[in-house]
Amino acid sequence: MSRARAVRDTRLARATTTPEFPALGRLAHTVFVRRKRLAAMMIVASPLTFIVAARDAHAQRAGENAVTAAADVFGTAVGNESTGIYDPGDVRGFSPLRAGNVRIEGLYFDKVGDENDRLQASSRIHVGIAAQSYAFAAPTGIVDYALRMPGAAANLSIFTEGSSLGYGTLQLDGAAPLNDRLGMGGGIGYVHNVSADGTSNREGTIAVIFKWHPLPNLEISPFWSRKDTFEQKNGEAYQPVTNFLPDPMPQRHFFGPRWATSTDFSINYGSLLRYALASWVMRLGVFRSELAQPTSNLPYLNLATRDHGELAVDSSPPSHLGSTSGELRLEKNLTRGPWANRLVLSLRERNWTGRYGNAITVDVGPQTINQWINSPRPSLEFPALIHDHVDERWAGLEYQVARSNRLQVSLAAQKVHYYKRTAIPAQSPVSFATSPGLVAGAVTGNVTDQLAIFASYTEGLEDNGNAPSNAANSNEALPATSSRQTDGGVRWSIRPGVNLVATVFDLRKAYFNLDPANAYRELGAVENKGLELSLSGSLTDRLAVVAGGVFSKPAVRAAAPGLGVSGDRPVGIYSRKLVLDINWKPPGTSGLAFDLDTNYYGSVPGSLDNAVSVPAYTTVDWDTRYEFRMAERAASLKFAVMNLFNVRALRVLDSNTYGFYSGSGRRIELRLIVDVG
């Protein structure tokens, strides 16, 4: 069995079987498989929303712009837009998602199911100074999702977008007060995704959320969401037998057999509670996240030469992942003279279960890059499933103190209890347990009203999952390992709303990869030291900028003895990333704006011994936006040329395993948003 770990992680991080929620599965099939009828109904229904929307409703989505919404360059997503040097899968070279550093409205959430834009309005990466006042910060940063909370007025937004690749979407999001204490929001959407790497699918999303004030000082917000993915075609992974890159660059089409498709279903639901009493605040979040994959087929090409090899498909049995997680947080605020004190007690827990199995490799036949190949659908009998279970509990106490906006200090301590048990058929179950104590501290000093210096130290514990299916020790349980991070820097407020931040950081954690015997194990430690620069804000009332970058030196340290082939640089971690996003409103115009988005990605090692690297590349996007009134309703139209200079590039999935960068190739996008209510 041979496949990229990143692709295999997608299978395990994206799985659910219909028996877990059969009624919902039947509903999803009825609603989303008959997608053409649904899309037609949504398009026809759209004008009717002008009639049913309340007159006093406020705008919801027409003004969405990630550049103007970003507070720094570290990572901001708003609706369907994003900006920054980092994203939820990559912060300072590592993944907050894999590390378990995800929050919903600030509370701990173990994300298993795919995100749903009908539920999530935005997200932000908290790292460096952006994490200074964030309770219980973590190495590799924190991803915090904000929900589409209903407000005091009714609203409804229509979002439609398409591209020259064939991508198209129609989304309806809205909310309405049911009475003076209860509001309801939600949405429904349909997407036909098409990417340059050959990946395509059809998705349906739906969500509902409530905001209830049974008492003036008590707020309860239950929510539910579901995402269904059908006809998923995964672009090929390329695995050279020795150290070379695939050539020529693959085109954007899917070249595997017609039967090699996948299907998955995600649900995320739970509730948030906030209760305030005098100087005490209690916050509670309880969440359930599930992902099921009834079918999974992932093609890859074993390259004997730069352009030719053997096509195979890893076909996996139906799988299911689910996690119940949450956090109870008590906060005590006390002010005495110039001193403000805050005490935070946190109890977090997750209960994660997984049922999945080893893939069966189907040999399709010889293939040349960009050559379509087909084969009959095989009849497969999968082995018995593997059963995984993780229990994890965190108890933490943090003390924060601030004096007259000049000095802020925080000290935190956490105790973790971690237990994992993996049962592989015909083998004895394997279990791991650990109970470390973790500490963290941060300090920010405002030297002047414009200049601040800051520093922090954070320790963490991260679950490393199981060995990938392309390893000799496929699905072997891996222990949880510790991580730590130190950083510090300065922030200069150039003018109100415009900040320049410079940060140095040192992040260290365990390094897992395939060894020369093809066993996936801990090869040593990896260290990433670097410098971050961030400039953000409105330089004038017509010019907003998000600019910056990361310059780092990721290195493998303390490598296990006897390897002989491990290079100095870890596989797949960029040492350079630069971003320049500009939003400009021409003088003498109203509602017109231009955006320029430039991203530079440095070269990245593609093999364990650093013998081959994916070259650096730069992409440039340009768009024109126009905000106007349509039938007395706020609306915006966006025309964009993405990847203006038609750059095509590879990305590293694992050692000597590559995929096609999904943003490759020039494309045109057109978007219309109307805030009906």
Tens digit of each residue's pLDDT (9 = 90 or more) over 61-104: 999 999 999 999 999 999 999 999 999 989 999 889 888 899 99
Model pLDDT for residues 416-445, shown as the tens digit of each residue:
999 999 998 988 999 999 999 999 999 999
Rounded to the nearest 10 degrees, how much is the dihedral formed by the CA atoms of 238, 239, 242, 248? Answer: -10
Rounded to the nearest 10 degrees, how much is the dihedral formed by the CA atoms of 529, 122, 350, 287? Answer: 180
Among positive and negative, which fits the CA dihedral 129, 130, 136, 138? Answer: negative
Q: Is 568 or 34 the better-scoring residue by pLDDT?
A: 568
* pLDDT computed for residue 567 by the predictor: 75
Task: Name the pLDDT band for 562 (thresholds 50, 70, 90).
Answer: low
**pTM for this model (two decimals):** 0.89
What is the residue type of 87? D
Compute the distance between CA of residue 24 and CA of residue 288 in angstroms, rounded to an integer.
Answer: 15
* pLDDT computed for residue 315 by the predictor: 93
Model pLDDT for residues 185-223, shown as the tens digit of each residue:
999 999 999 999 999 999 999 999 999 999 999 999 999
Helices (H), 533-599: none
Instruction: Spell out the residues 6+ positions from residue 601 whose beta carbon is closer than 8 angstroms to its own.
Output: 574, 576, 577, 616, 617, 618, 649
Largest Cα–Cα separation, the chain: 77
In the predicted model, is pLDDT for residue 22 greater than 60? no
Answer yes or no: CATH 3.30.1950.10 is held by domain 5-675. Answer: no
Closest CA to 67 of 600, 676, 593: 593
* pLDDT computed for residue 41 by the predictor: 34
Give the Cα-Cα-Cα angle 508, 510, 515 (nearest 5 degrees): 135
Model pLDDT for residues 325-362, shown as the tens digit of each residue:
999 999 999 888 889 999 999 999 999 999 998 889 99
The shares of helix, strand and coil residues in the chain, as percent rounded to the nearest 5, are: 10, 55, 35
What is the residue type of 55? R
The average pLDDT across 485-507 equals 96
Q: What is the mean pLDDT of the chain?
A: 88
* pLDDT computed for residue 655 by the predictor: 85
Task: Name the pLDDT band for 476 (thresholds 50, 70, 90).
Answer: confident
Q: Report the Cα–Cα distance between both ends of the chain, in Å, rounded.
A: 54
What is the phi-psi region of residue 350: left when phi exceeds 0, alpha when psi lies from -120 to 50, beta otherwise? beta
Model pLDDT for residues 399-424, shown as the tens digit of each residue:
999 998 889 999 999 999 999 999 98
Strand order in the sheet with 102-104: 81-83, 76-78, 120-126, 142-147, 102-104, 107-108
Compute the distance between CA of residue 61 and CA of residue 159 in angstroms, rounded to an integer.
Answer: 8
The average pLDDT across 616-635 equals 95
Q: Is 569 or 274 the better-scoring residue by pLDDT?
A: 274
In the predicted model, is pLDDT for residue 12 greater than 60? no
